[in-house]
Structure 1
Amino acid sequence: MEWNTYHFDELTARKLYEFLKLRVDVFVVEQNCPYPELDDLDQESIHIAYSENGKTLAYARLVPAGVKYEIPSIGRVIVRAEARSRGLAKQLMVQAMEYILNEWQANEIQLQGQVYLQEFYESFGFLPISEAYDEDGIPHVDMKFTNNKM
């Protein structure tokens, strides 16, 4: 398995289009949730992805500290529908967390997760830091991971 990370300026137009299309296909179309997908955070973020045969199967966006939250965050966590149940979401989270902890030397990570995925994120050590709330018609919860090994 080969995971790749990209700074925004390293993305080709084709790769950026592929990432954005996947995000819209799942978060807007599949989840029937019209919301502003383009939020001006992509330019400052690291984009992590796993592809097979030229097709992105898993993707997440890593936002540095001070851009969205005071601490780094993981967002837009996604696995293409036909690639689900292969463990890619777990591998994606491991890759994303390792990048933030090692490359950015952060000891905390925040995310805004859909409530139905709360247990999934808790399995990586994330704990809720908010009550459930509505975000664009979908229940969400803010969660934070603290690395106690530092």
Structure 2
Amino acid sequence: MKTILAEKQAHFIDALTIRTLVFIGEQDVPVWEEIDDYDRFVPLFVIYEGNRALGTARIIPKEKGIYKIGRVAIRQEARSRGVGKKLMQDVMNYIKKETMAKEICLDAQLTAVPFYEKLGFNVYGEVFQDAGIDHISMSYKG
């Protein structure tokens, strides 16, 4: 498996295809909430096995020194195979190497909290709704 920083149109199509399958198809997120202006300007990553795109994530710079990982999505058939873990580790390593990050944050669906905790993220704040799904904020300061 190899994680790449999207640079070609095909990479962006692969990422949006995965997000469409997962968020819009599986989780009924409205398309107008899933696709936003950030997709045009922020680093977007796709993890491949051979030529098949299995997952995606993006990074949004927040206030000074804080970077937010978002839109993490893994194809259903690729889950529980370590794809999400490798994708997240690669994205986190990119942030550590390419930025002056003092903190990495994300908003996790409640069902994904244990996954992110294993990567070193800690929960903070209250549960909130995003696109009709319960989420909670998480932070990594490793």
Indicate conservation of the 8 Å contact 1:111/1:142, yes or no.
yes
**Which structure is higher in helix share?**
2
Indicate conservation of the 8 Å contact 1:44/1:64, yes or no.
no
For residues 62 and 84 of structure 2, what CA distance do their matches in structure 1 show? 23
1:63 lines up with 2:52 in the alignment: no
Identity, % of aligned positions: 37
Cα deviation for residue 70 of structure 1 reads 6.8
Unaligned segments of structure 1, at least 5 residues:
none
**Which structure is higher in strand share?**
2
Match of 2:25 in 1: 29
Unaligned segments of structure 2, at least 5 residues:
none
For residues 70 and 115 of structure 1, what CA distance do their matches in structure 2 show? 26
Cα deviation for residue 135 of structure 1 reads 1.4
After superposition, the CA RMSD in angstroms is 1.7
1:79 lines up with 2:106 in the alignment: no
CA deviation map 1:54-87 (0-9, x unaligned)? 2210211111234xx9721101111111111211
Choose the corresponding residue for 2:44, options 20, 23, 47: 47
Equivalences, count = 141
Code of the residue aligned with 1:25 in structure 2: it is: L
Match of 2:90 in 1: 95
Cα deviation for residue 138 of structure 1 reads 0.7
1:11 lines up with 2:8 in the alignment: yes
For residues 126 and 103 of structure 1, what CA distance do their matches in structure 2 show? 20
